[in-house]
Chain A
Amino acid sequence: MDTVIGIKTRLMREYYRYFSKYAKGKVPEEPVAWVTAFTPVEILKALGISYYYPESYAAVIAASEKEQEYIKESEKRNLSRDCCSYSCCFNGSLLLEEGPRGVPPKPDVLIATNNQCNTLPAWWNTLADEYDVPLIVLDYPGESCDRAEAASYVKKQHEMLTEAMEKLSGRRLDEEELLRLVNNSERSVEAWNLLISNLKTKDISPTTLFDDINFLITARCNEDTAKLYDMMDKECGTLEDADPLSIPVFWLGYPLWYHADRYLKELMDGLRITGSNYITWWSLDYSGEDVYEKLFNAYNYTFLNLLQKSRDKRLHKLIEDSGAKGAIVLHNKSCKCDFVSARNVGLPQAELDTDMIDREYLNLEKAKLQIELLKETICRG
């Protein structure tokens, strides 16, 4: 009978199977794509192409305390430290041909999207240069043009992607299979949303959610993912209720991947995270009449691809639902696209200068002071 740990182990084993630490020289039988976090992977999976996420691995590197070494290596090869730490860290690991789990299997194709930021396609170009493989960039216009035009443009690109992946895999896309996978992703999102709704009232560790969203990112069209989250949600029913005396706060920004708790737990005595925008980023909206509309809605309207007005609206709802009285906002050196989300949050904030990968960015004493001030402000209010 499946257990939470059993499913997690299965999914992780599947994902890391061909990383050099475990592969023992074996290479995947199917073609390999390296993709950015909001790539329509359902298309790849339907064609039997396996995919890996350099951003996720950068998080693993930071969690394994190796990020400084790899960032320095990238810097030696002229990749500025001003660039996104995900890229500096991951590229450094490739240059040294090492990592906490080795290095991922070599790509046959690189796929980057700009529905998160414009850094990712630029980063992917450096990988294309390193591996000399085709690079496909998908352009998601977001809300910058009318919906019908955006849908038509995105559909054309998804069709182009399909054609290219058919050539790579030697298979034809089965649209029913694609729809099945999209429905799996939708199911995974539903299950995840139920799970994270426990954060407000239950004593569930934010660390668990920051870590376990990984499956939604890397395996959302896998049936196991929805099953996993359903089981975790059921388990929440057995958890204690959250301490009613603790002050609810909203974590606005990335998890700190280098930190054992992924957030500054040691500075947050008396505070409790009841909401986070990061854990909602992959709650993609797969609504639509047909599979292409579903993919369009899911991937064109990702949070970081929305205009400020829409972000404000979404954030207000999330914050309201969380009951948060204050926000801890991460002024992330690697992601100005995220930080700007906090402009109109309308809550007392502690704005921390930090980076999600590079631990040297955080001044712990200053952060402590800011969080203390936030607590005082909330209590006085």
Chain B
Amino acid sequence: MPGIGIDVGSTYTKYCIAEDEKILKLFAEKTPLRQRDYFERKLEAFKEEYPGAMIFSCGYGKSNVSGIKSVNELTALAAGFYKLTGESGTILDIGGQDTKIITEENGRLKDFFINDKCAAGSGMFLTNTLELTGVSFEDIDLKEAYDSELRLSSTCAVFAQSEIVMMIADNRTEEEIINAVIRQILIKAKPLLEKTGEKSIYLSGGLSLIPGIAPFAEKILKVKCKIPENGIYLSAIGCAFMER
């Protein structure tokens, strides 16, 4: 029996199609504004292509995927990570809305930490910065990131915004600014990470797609950082293999 997992994120919705304990397909689409209509059509298409499939959803927009079971995103993340890697571990997930850290043991959620309501600690901060600087997400590359001395001093995204505007006026490069923002997002995650006491973690979520993010994050977080393959699909995978 096929299993389909849908992780409805603020920016992208991730899908996993699975059957017989194997992942058949992984893909992502931009989460539209009119979510209910979109997911209605999506589910109809899935029911046609994969009759009898068990479908689970998770994520902030999961209530818009009506008529199917939903799962907690963190539970799905734990299950998906274990499915993919067979390992127990700690995962730092920086998404569009927030930053989460989970510890997972044999596929079960063991503990979790979520940052307070603060845009400076989430992907939204980066999204807004990309808009200001006119850089697209796909163009970010931290592989050659040098240790620029440029730092954001504001702890709040709202104040940091004005700092960024001044940096642009001061002719700082887009690269320097974006590096400073990503650094700040990771710094915000540090106190949560320190609560786990872990020395080695995995990165997932949108930020994990950035080339060079692992060594960059290691320098800031002072822990070993690895990126699981298909890191952005972990929750969707967890949903697809959710126990019936």
A adjacent to B, CB under 8 Å: yes
B41 at the A interface (CB under 8 A): no
Q: Which residue of the partner chain, among A75, A361, A365, contacts B155 with CB atoms under 8 Å?
A: A361
Contact A76 B153 (CB under 8 A): no
Closest to B192 in A: A75
**CA–CA, A106 to B195, complex, Å?**
27
For B197, the chain A residues whose CB sits under 8 A away are: 76
Contact A365 B191 (CB under 8 A): no
Q: Which of A72, A76, A363, A365 has the most CB of B within 10 A?
A: A363
B159 at the A interface (CB under 8 A): yes
What's the nearest-Cβ distance from chain A to residue B201, in Å?
Answer: 16
For A2, the chain B residues whose CB sits under 8 A away are: none
B184-225 at interface with A (beta carbon < 8 Å) = 191, 194-195, 197
Contact A76 B195 (CB under 8 A): yes
Contact A360 B194 (CB under 8 A): no
Closest to B116 in A: A82
**CA–CA, A363 to B153, complex, Å?**
6
Number of interface residues of B (CB under 8 A): 10
B154 at the A interface (CB under 8 A): yes
Q: Which residue of the partner chain, among B154, B159, B166, B191, contacts A72 with CB atoms under 8 Å?
A: B191
Q: Which residue of the partner chain, among A72, A78, A81, A365, contacts B153 with CB atoms under 8 Å?
A: A365
Q: Which residue of the partner chain, among B154, B159, B194, contacts A75 with CB atoms under 8 Å?
A: B194
Proximity bits, A67-111, B CB within 8 Å = 1, else 0:
000001001101001000000000000000000000000000000
What's the nearest-Cβ distance from chain B to residue A282, in Å?
Answer: 32
What's the nearest-Cβ distance from chain A to residue B157, in Å?
Answer: 13
Q: Interface SS of chain A: helix, strand, loop or mixed?
A: helix
Closest to B162 in A: A366
**CA–CA, A76 to B191, complex, Å?**
7
For A76, the chain B residues whose CB sits under 8 A away are: 191, 194-195, 197
What's the nearest-Cβ distance from chain B to residue A359, in Å?
Answer: 10
Closest to B156 in A: A353
A364 at the B interface (CB under 8 A): yes
Q: Which residue of the partner chain, among A81, A362, A366, contacts B191 with CB atoms under 8 Å?
A: A81
Contact A360 B155 (CB under 8 A): yes
A240-297 at interface with B (beta carbon < 8 Å) = none
Proximity bits, A338-381, B CB within 8 Å = 1, else 0:
00000000000000000000001111111000000000000000
Which 9 pairs show the lowest CB-CB distances between chains A and B? A363-B153, A76-B194, A75-B191, A363-B154, A76-B195, A72-B194, A364-B153, A81-B191, A363-B159
A contacts, CB < 8 Å to B? 72, 75-76, 78, 81, 360-366
B contacts, CB < 8 Å to A? 153-155, 159, 163, 166, 191, 194-195, 197
